[in-house]
Structures are given as C-alpha cells and as structure tokens.
Amino acid sequence: MRKWTVADVMTRDVVAVPEDATYRTIVELLADRRISAVPVVDADRRVVGVVSEADLLYKVEFAGAVAHPRIFPSRRRSRREKGEGTVARELMTRPAVTAGAKTSLAAAARLMTDKGVKRLAVVDEDGVLTGIVARSDLLKVHLRADEELRHDINDEVLLRTLWLEPLVVDVKVDNGLVTLSGHLDRRTMAELAVQLVAAVPGVVAVDDHLTYELDDTELSGSEWYRSHPFSSTGP
C-alpha cells in the first residue's frame, strides 16, 4: 500500500531569499506572495534559516527602543537583536526545521508539532531547497474522493495485502469515514484489517462491524499453530 509523502503535497515553486536580502525586501515579498515565511539560502541554495512574520515583528515591537539595550532583560536580548536586524542573516531563525521529500505525512506532522512550526523547508540530501510544505498541505490528503479511498481499501488492503476474496468485506465510505462489515475466519485478521484501513491516507475514522469465527488471541501456542496451518517457518 502506497504511503503518501511530503513529495505528494509540497509546493515546488518555492521562493527563497539570500542571506543579504534586506528587511524591506522580505516584507514586500511576503506581502506580494501572500505567505508568512520564506527560507533563507546560501549561494548554493542550501537552506540556512527561515524568516517569518514573527521574526519581522520584533522591529515593530522594539521600534524606538532598540538604541537602549540596557533597559531590556538578558532573556529578551535575542528578540531585541532581531529587532535591530536589517538583513536576512540577522533576522532569520536558525537552524531551519527541514524535511526530506520522502518523509511521511505523519512524520512531517509530528515534526511540525514537536518544533512548534507551521511549515517545513523541504531539502535534498545535500540540504538544497526543493520545496516547502505547510500545515495546510498536510491536510490535502483528506480531500481524496470517497470512491478513490474505497478503491485503495479494496485493492491495496483487502486484496493485495490481506489476500481476502472480493465481497468478503463490505466497504462503505462517506466523507472519509469508513464502515467495514463482514465475517472473517479469525479475530486477528479482523483487527488487522481495521488497523490497515485506518492507515490509508485520507481515511478519517473506521467504524468496525466485522465479526469473526475464531478468537485466536486466546489460543495457546499449539492451538494457534493448528488454526494457522500455513504459518510454519520451517522448510
């Protein structure tokens, strides 16, 4: 089953600024492109930082006061220094939080949450900028049509992964909510089916109505092997 990655949803036509880009240039760029942050790159287009609206606002916050550094507690010094900055290298947050194009959407979402950022610069193995992915981009997976989800569940999960015959499991999808019904041989198979369907990109939730013939989670070792005649690992 194919997993969606950052490459499937990222913006490839991404704008960046050099380290010597001026404050005014960055403000105009954010306004013109209607974006809230821009990556900063070196001469080889490797990402060295990010300038966001939050970084730029320090100049507004400390306007008229930056010439008197002693009135600020030391814990605010970095904010004040950004308020005094005039070019990207002085304004940017570093290091930039980045991800590779092959990063899963789940991993990208966790990284954004852990680092408290709204977007990730996407880089190749050399750190060169190839795109950008925002929180809104990660949600695109939930725009997939119900019929597309149903096809993936039937073909990729039930048939190709679990080797279940067609029509053994009935699949209904409504706005990303999946309902599974049918009767399977074993409880472990039913639970695995629910788990795999829930992992299909775009599935919001799974309503499990599957039943089973045998609860193989309560069997002893010898009983389990008798109920799984093709599970032997021997030659």
| 10-residue averages of pLDDT along the chain (235 residues) | 90 95 97 95 96 92 63 59 89 94 96 95 96 95 95 95 93 98 96 96 96 86 56 44
Is the pTM higher than 0.85? The answer reads no
Confidence (pLDDT) at 73: 52
Domains present along the chain, CATH in parentheses: 6-140 (3.10.580.10), 144-227 (3.30.1340.30)
Q: Which residues contact 223 (CB under 8 A, 6 or more apart)?
A: none
CB 196 within 8 A of CB 168: no
Q: How far is CA 198 from CA 9, 40, 178, 182, 194, in A?
A: 20, 38, 8, 17, 6
State the Cα–Cα distance between residues 133 and 90, nearest whole angstrom. 24
**Quick check: helix, strand or coil at residue 58?**
helix
Confidence (pLDDT) at 1: 67
